């Protein structure tokens, strides 16, 4: 661990904010540009492993291509004093898993965040990038309610026709560090069936993982979980998630349909692109906004208060007269 106050090149370490299999993430100050950054530093052990070092560099190369407002931006990749690092945008907020707190969220907020995450994936997939580790811990929700997708450390680059020239020769990592079939990477509860089984994955694996995240936002729990890693993988590959209505009755039917389609076992039956998923979420958002507008537009029913009078310091209720007679206060007073 690097102690606060130490400088690595132009970056002054402030505090540690996270750690993972690839290394540690620090809050740091860029003394040259006078801004706060998140500095991800590769562990020394991994730095000596050329294959794992290539994966670390792949994260920066992949994320640096993305221009979405819902992806944490990469500022610099480099090496100083024997430390390989990535300086990236520091996103203030809370991880989505902390925001959920194991409880269902409101439908409107789920749809809003789902749209933003889908936009980030649409941008990544259009650049030939599959994230492979979409989970609530990798999604930060800012104080303004905006979602930012972090950590492309497991990202897989795959050449697409419009980007093939861009990925070679400068991005030869695209072919060097593609994970071989049989190697499982990612967080198991959010994996697609093909990923959990160690098969090759494509962008539709991210769509399944987003479906898991949406299910958790709706129900407060993941759809596939077992007592062991093997049991969890088996459920991901073969079991159907429990009905959403069992945990949350206030879910729009359209949202349940969207989640079910994203969670199809057969990737050919899922949404074939993040753009398609995004379109359905936007349509649902418009429907929810229209319903909310209609509810606000309906005037509340007029209420009639019971007539009363104060006599001698006591409050007396008066009978409501019918249309056929006038009130007779002298004979109809009663104490309340």
pLDDT at 284: 96
User: Band of the pLDDT at 306, cuts 50, 70, 90?
Assistant: low
Q: The domain 94-293: what is its CATH number? A: 1.10.510.10
User: Which whole number is the average pLDDT over 277-287?
Assistant: 96
- The yes-or-no verdict on residue 335 having pLDDT over 80 is no
pLDDT of residue 161: 36
Active site residue 133: yes
* pLDDT of res. 251: 93
Instruction: Determine the 3-state secondary structure of 16 from DSSP.
Output: strand
Identify whether the C-beta of residue 244 lies closer than 8 Å to the C-beta of residue 218.
yes
Do residues 120 and 70 lie in contact, with contact meaning Cβ atoms separated by under 8 Å?
A: yes
Main-chain dihedrals φ then ψ at residue 25, nearest 5 degrees:
-115, 130
Angstrom distances, CA of residue 22 to CA of 47, 49, 51, 122, 152:
9, 11, 12, 25, 11
Kindly give the residue spans of alpha helices, DSSP state H, lying in 131-273.
164-167, 173-176, 193-196, 203-219, 229-238, 253-262
Catalytic pick among 122, 133, 206, 280: 133
The lowest-confidence range among 15-29, 82-96, 154-168 is 154-168
pLDDT of residue 28: 96
Supply the pLDDT for residue 334.
42
Which of helix, strand or coil describes residue 41?
strand
Task: Report how far residue 301's alpha carbon sits from residue 84's, in angstroms, rounded to the nearest whole number.
Answer: 66
Query: Cβ(120)–Cβ(71) under 8 Å?
Result: yes
- What pLDDT score was predicted for residue 112? 97
Give me the residue spans of the domains in the chain.
7-89, 94-293
Given this model, what pLDDT does residue 80 score?
Answer: 86
Q: Count Cβ atoms within 10 A of the Cβ of residue 5 and give its class: 0-12 exposed, 13-18 middle, 19 or more buried.
A: exposed
CA-closest candidate to residue 122, choices 281, 288, 283, 286: 281
What secondary structure does DSSP assign to 73-117, as a single string?
PEEEEEEETTEEEEEEE---SEEHHHHHTTS---HHHHHHHHHHH
Average predicted confidence (pLDDT) for the chain: 81
How is residue 10 written in tokens? 């132009």
- Binned at pLDDT 50, 70 and 90, residue 160 comes out as very low
Average pLDDT score over residue span 205-215: 98
Class of domain 7-89: alpha beta
Better pLDDT: 215 or 54:
215
pLDDT confidence tier of residue 313, bands split at 50, 70 and 90: low
Mean pLDDT of the region 112-130? 94
Q: Which of 69-73, 198-202, 266-270 has the highest mean pLDDT?
A: 266-270
Task: Tell me the C-alpha distance between 301 and 298, whole Å.
Answer: 9
């Amino acid at each position: 661990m690097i102690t606060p106050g130490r400088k690595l090149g132009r970056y002054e370490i402030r505090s540690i904010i996270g750690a993972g299999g690839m290394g540690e993430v620090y809050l740091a100050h860029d003394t040259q540009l006078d801004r706060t950054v998140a500095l991800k530093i590769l562990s020394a052990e991994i730095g000596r492993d050329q294959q794992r070092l290539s994966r670390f560099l792949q994260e920066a190369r992949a994320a640096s291509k993305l221009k979405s407002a819902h992806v944490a931006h990469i500022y610099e990749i480099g090496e100083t004093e024997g430390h390989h690092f990535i300086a990236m945008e520091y996103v203030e907020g809370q991880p989505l898993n902390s925001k959920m707190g194991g409880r269902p969220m409101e439908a409107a907020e789920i749809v809003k965040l789902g749209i933003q995450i889908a936009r980030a994936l649409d941008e990544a997939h259009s650049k030939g990038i599959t994230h492979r580790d979409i989970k609530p811990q990798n999604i930060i929700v800012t104080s303004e309610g905006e979602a930012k997708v972090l950590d492309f450390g497991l990202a897989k680059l795959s050449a697409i026709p419009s980007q093939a020239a861009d990925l070679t020769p400068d991005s030869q990592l695209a072919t060097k560090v593609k994970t071989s079939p049989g190697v499982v990477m990612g967080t198991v509860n959010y994996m697609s069936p093909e990923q959990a089984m160690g098969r090759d994955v494509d962008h539709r694996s991210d769509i399944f993982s987003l479906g898991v995240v949406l299910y958790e936002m709706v129900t407060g729990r993941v759809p596939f979980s077992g007592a062991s890693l093997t049991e969890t993988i088996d459920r991901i590959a073969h079991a159907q998630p429990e009905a959403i209505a069992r945990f949350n009755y206030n879910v729009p039917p359209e949202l349940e349909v969207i989640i079910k389609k994203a969670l199809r076992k057969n990737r050919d039956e899922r949404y074939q692109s993040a753009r398609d998923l995004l379109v359905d979420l936007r349509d649902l958002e418009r429907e929810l906004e229209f319903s909310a507008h209609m509810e606000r537009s309906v005037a509340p029913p007029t209420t009639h208060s019971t007539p009363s009078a104060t006599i001698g310091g006591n409050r007396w209720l008066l009978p409501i007269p019918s249309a056929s007679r006038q009130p007779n206060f002298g004979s109809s007073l009663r104490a309340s």
